[in-house]
Structure 1
């Protein structure tokens, strides 16, 4: 956010939907940072006091002031010598501020890419960020800052010189995506895929598709809908927008029709190295002109090819040159923590930390990556083992038992040597894995694993289980040795 005075900020918040009044000096200069954590206050920051289950932001106004904050947003006057913007609902006030910031930036040329999907949206967002950063100043969240608080905070990081905003958007109910798009109206929109994440809340994949597809309905007619032609539920979403249509696909997968495509992108000739990093040819067809460029990814997993094709499509929709796109994808690195983080250990073993979150689709992709990686390692080290420390996948509804058992079964089918299961569904996972299955606890998991040269261990579960503790302990233990 550009630095503005308190009177202007109060007016902006009111103009974009939340009645606000000012208590304090109207000439107070605020910005550029907008924060909700008093510990992150910087000189001039605007602290938004959000209520919480365990703490109320109003109790930390003084701390934010001491850290350098210039003003705060509160629901009632607070006894502190700081300029205060008073609203009935601070979350709504934050939303209104973000709408104002985005609208002003859009008038000055900001272009926004909005990304949602059941799996892969964070990785796609990170790749898109790095591609667009090659041609202009780009803002996007680190990690999954993708809800009704995270999206406004990300938008508020847009400054006067920002060229691109990449907004990741999550949903747990119908209307969530539409709400987030009302804050950051997209110029390019995409649904990465429709899977089983949050199916317990939506009830079916069709309901998930209806909710995710709201992102295309938010596009202006001059915008671009980037559609995954390998996913039938996404491909069918072309009917939900009057915007320009682009389709992307990965070779070797079924392709579903997207009528009226003006830009077609596909990844072909995919070859994986021993760390499961993909090399491929990126082909783009537009106005009957075909162009191609080579890509060699640094991120791990065959599933990253689809993410890369999606990121490429978004950039091409915005007019970025194909060779620049390919070079940026080849130089892109993991940007958000705990997502297929690869750690080669001093003793020759390796840890894949993918503990940020899990659903059936991302779990299957991670297990397949592990199996392929260990197959390559066994060419030079026949004793190398594939180990999986996995746990509960949350919000799966009535199919949760079946889906957890299927995860264990898939691990066994892929030849994973040992499956260490953690959480409420540990017994179910272990049962699916058969003789390979073991049950343990988070605080015992690292101690249960003795890693030898060539071994690779995958650590993955839904965020609530905190399995990054296992990955970190394994890395620290072996590197200390």
Structure 2
């Protein structure tokens, strides 16, 4: 974070110190956090009021832990007034502070490059790839996990300082207008559009509105920005009309004549993809062989998006190919493949789910599980609105088509299990994540391949975390019975 005093933070955030005369107003803020557990000496605590907790309750304890102050909507009794920045809305104030900080940082570092990316799926994986393959350009700052909201994005921006060469920002949206707001905080130099899919339909109302919302990233990028579009997705390809005078680079894994494309895509029994990357990026044309360390043939599109940006920013093609081959999964619960007791393979893709992502995960399990028994543990795909029943039925049918032997439906709409059963798949129905573990473990066999997938809000990731222990316990019990 660029150095600012509490008084300067208050002005930039559109707030005021409860006691401006307090000498604490000149204390330097070293970082901004919204999680009381992440407070370090010198940090400013943003006291956000959420559905489950009120950050104001933690203000006394964070100051005891070394925080220099807190951003609040009301004064907290028993806390020095000079350490409290009063604002009308903490989330809005965070955005204003981040906007000010990035503007100042760009003034000091005109060569700083801000990369913004969005899409209905693939955002976090592509962000993680960028964070790794852009390393030849200097210091790359990207958020851990999915800090892509009106809180997470400002917090990431505020971590940047004069040593940052590239700032990678993941931008999420639940409704039209969200990306207009996020790009008002951090208009990118490079805007990446990955995909428009059936995600958050309950909030958007239609996939057409999803496309409108995602297009706000292009409209909100800097006037001289470069737009990187996935032309395999017709709705993304159409966003070239929003670019205006901005340069447009494209990528494709389907053989289209894109700026960067893949050829000869194949995947081994471990599910990892190999392909040739062909580039016509100005100053970086050529081709190279790539072997991804990431699991899933669908990762080729994410790799191409990251490669297009890297080539544009000046990373040589051989270094891009090497970087993609070395890039490991950096965020949890995203196509993480592990071996459990009894030769059971766990594919943990439980961070989130939408129809396209679930189909990709099932295809990956089918490849890894060729010749083996496959078990799909699928929780609900949330926020699909009126499309929910049809989409879950479609996934049930897809499970059968990809050869799933056993489907565990975790508190999901009935259509999921019904469609799978109709197509001949054995189905277990669990009423909760805990119940799913109880049902699943007795049905596991040595050598199984198990996929765990579902929306974040279902909490099915908890089962993915517990499964190695449950399987180990199963193996111990089996040994005791011999």
TM-score (norm 1): 0.92
Deviation at 1:344, TM superposition (A): 1.0
Instruction: Tell me if 1:386 matches 2:382.
Output: no
Residues 134, 328 of structure 1: 8 Å contact kept:
no
Matches within 5 A, 1:262-301: 264-287=259-282, 290-301=285-296
Q: Which residue number corresponds to residue 404 of structure 2? A: 416
Count the aligned residue pairs.
Answer: 461
Query: Which segments of 5 or more consecutive residues in structure 2 lack a partner in the other structure?
Result: 476-482
Over 3 Å counting, the alpha-carbon distance change for 1:287 and 1:97 in structure 2 is: closer
Instruction: Tell me if 1:3 matches 2:6.
Output: no
SS at 1:298's partner residue? Answer: strand
Q: Which residue number corresponds to residue 76 of structure 1? A: 74
Residues 284, 316 of structure 2: 8 Å contact kept:
no
CA distance in 1, matches of 2:278, 2:437: 44
1:230-287 Cα offsets, whole Å, 9 max, x none, are: 11110110010121110001145xx4x88xxxxx111112121211111111111134
Q: Which residue number corresponds to residue 177 of structure 2? A: 175
CA distance in 1, matches of 2:281, 2:89: 47
SS at 2:280's partner residue? Answer: strand
Q: Cα RMSD between the aligned structures?
A: 1.8
1:347-399 Cα offsets, whole Å, 9 max, x none, are: 21111111111111111111111111111xx2xxxxx2111000111111112
CA distance in 2, matches of 1:105, 1:192: 28
Which of 13, 23, 27 aligns to 1:25? It is 23
Moved segments of 4+, more than 6 Å: none
CA distance in 1, matches of 2:75, 2:251: 52
Which of 441, 457, 462 aligns to 1:464? It is 457
Matches within 5 A, 1:42-81: 42-78=40-76, 79-81=78-80
Q: Which residue number corresponds to residue 91 of structure 1? A: 91
Which of 331, 341, 350 aligns to 2:345? It is 350
SS at 2:30's partner residue? Answer: coil
SS at 1:329's partner residue? Answer: helix
Which of 431, 444, 454 aligns to 2:435? It is 444
Residues 30, 46 of structure 1: 8 Å contact kept:
no
Matches within 5 A, 1:142-221: 142-221=144-223
1:60-81 Cα offsets, whole Å, 9 max, x none, are: 1111101110111112332313
Over 3 Å counting, the alpha-carbon distance change for 1:84 and 1:238 in structure 2 is: same
Deviation at 1:439, TM superposition (A): 1.1
CA distance in 2, matches of 1:199, 1:105: 36
Query: Which segments of 5 or more consecutive residues in structure 1 lack a partner in the other structure?
Result: 259-263, 379-383
Residues 115, 189 of structure 1: 8 Å contact kept:
yes
CA distance in 2, matches of 1:31, 1:452: 55
